[in-house]
Amino acid sequence: MITKLNKKDLLSIADLTKEEIELILNISDMIRIKHKNNELFVPLLGKCLAMIFRKPSTRTRVSFEIAMFQLGGASIYLSPNEIQLGRGETIADTARVLSRYVNGILIRTFSHQEVIEFAKNATVPVINGLTDFSHPCQVLSDLLTIKDKKKVLKGLTIAYVGDGNNVCNSWLFAAPKMEMNLRVASPKEYAPSKEVVEKSKSFAQVSKTQVLITESPEEAVKDADVIYTDVWTSMGQEEEAQKRKEIFKKYQVNSDLVYLAKKDVIVMHCLPAHRGEEITDDVMDGPHSVVFDQAENRLHAQKGILALLLNR
């Protein structure tokens, strides 16, 4: 039985084995139960996490700060205006210097290569808090939520409806690893990249699961156990917002679409939501929605990640 992560860093779900993902989920759940029972559990006493944010955040920042505090540690928030990284100091030098001060580094940025460069030069664990390519912490907390609601992961069908973005990429890596079927419905020009889909299908071959890429949201959600959506326009794409609204309007998760899924389907959104665009109010606030449980689980999953990576 696996009892520790064999990775120094958390950069992408693609880097994790099924057993490592299960370990993160189990540790997250264990810590959640301890804290719900008001049981003191502070494995990171005296440890500090540096948090570099090139992109603004609500859930990632708050959940990691609170997670470090409740695990006995501390965190320090670093914006581009507060460190020399934005004024000429190299990523490599920044990683080496921070490694002398802190026990871990969280980065939320645009370029995935920047996170890889940090990890290559840091001597402490590096956690990807989001890049344009990948959002592993989000999908780990999503898996925790689905496990809470459905009790099992194996054999479930996830329908992802919308932009083939970083969250979609992480689902393409996670679903087949966890023996789940994944259907992605996106407009052709906004579908996930060929390289990501090919890697996902290679994982699916091993787990004997299905990965389907389609332009039809109806095909994706038919008899699905989970419907998942995200904003149509991510940070850094604001100039495309109006164009995307027109292209994506048939990909809205509304009551008609939800009706095609299983009767006990759960609806998920990683937030922030643009209500009335990718999801309607009646669905987001309706009986199938687990959106706010999903948001809470960012805190619990982050605790599992931190406890495993920083407590070495």
Task: Give CA–CA dist 136/155, Å, rounded.
Answer: 21
- Write the DSSP assignment of 105-163 as a string of letters: EEEE-S-HHHHHHHHHH-SS-EEEEE-SS--HHHHHHHHHHHHHHHS--TT-EEEEES-
Q: What is the pLDDT of residues 248-295, one digit of tens each?
A: 999 999 999 999 999 999 999 999 999 999 999 999 999 999 999 999
Q: What is the pLDDT of residues 124-148, one digit of tens each?
A: 999 999 999 999 999 999 999 999 9
- pLDDT for residue 87: 67
What is the separation, in whole angstroms, between the first and last Cα of the chain?
18
- pLDDT for residue 2: 54
Say whether both 162 and 91 belong to one domain: no
- pLDDT for residue 236: 67
Say whether both 192 and 67 belong to one domain: no
- Percent share of the chain, pLDDT over 70: 98
Q: Is the pLDDT of residue 120 over 90?
A: yes
Domain membership of residue 242 (yes or no) is yes
Residue pair 12/136 in contact (Cβ under 8 Å)? The answer is yes
Q: Is the pLDDT of residue 155 over 70?
A: yes
Say whether both 176 and 115 belong to one domain: no
Question: Catalytic site residue 138?
Answer: yes
Question: Catalytic site residue 100?
Answer: no
Say whether both 173 and 262 belong to one domain: yes
Q: What is the pLDDT of residues 7-46, one digit of tens each?
A: 899 999 999 999 999 999 999 999 999 999 999 999 999 9
Say whether both 19 and 125 belong to one domain: yes
Domain membership of residue 7 (yes or no) is no
Q: Is the pLDDT of residue 196 over 90?
A: yes
Catalytic site residue from 142, 163, 225, 230: 230
Say whether both 114 and 159 belong to one domain: no
Domain at 170, CATH number: 3.40.50.1370
pLDDT band at 6 (very low <50, low <70, confident <90, very high): confident
Q: What is the pLDDT of residues 50-62, one digit of tens each?
A: 999 998 889 999 9
Catalytic site residue from 270, 288, 300, 302: 270
Say whether both 33 and 123 belong to one domain: yes
Question: Catalytic site residue 54?
Answer: no
Question: Catalytic site residue 135?
Answer: yes
Residue pair 108/53 in contact (Cβ under 8 Å)? The answer is yes
Residue pair 176/207 in contact (Cβ under 8 Å)? The answer is yes
Catalytic site residue from 59, 112, 288, 298: 298
Domain membership of residue 8 (yes or no) is no
Domain membership of residue 6 (yes or no) is no
Question: Catalytic site residue 298?
Answer: yes
Say whether both 280 and 160 belong to one domain: yes
Catalytic site residue from 54, 112, 138, 163: 138
Domain membership of residue 83 (yes or no) is yes
Domain membership of residue 1 (yes or no) is no
Structural domain boundaries enclosing 117: 13-135+296-310
Could you give the number of structural domains in the chain? 2
Catalytic site residue from 135, 183, 288, 300: 135
Question: Catalytic site residue 61?
Answer: no
Say whether both 285 and 305 belong to one domain: no
Say whether both 78 and 190 belong to one domain: no
Domain membership of residue 41 (yes or no) is yes
160-165 average pLDDT score: 97
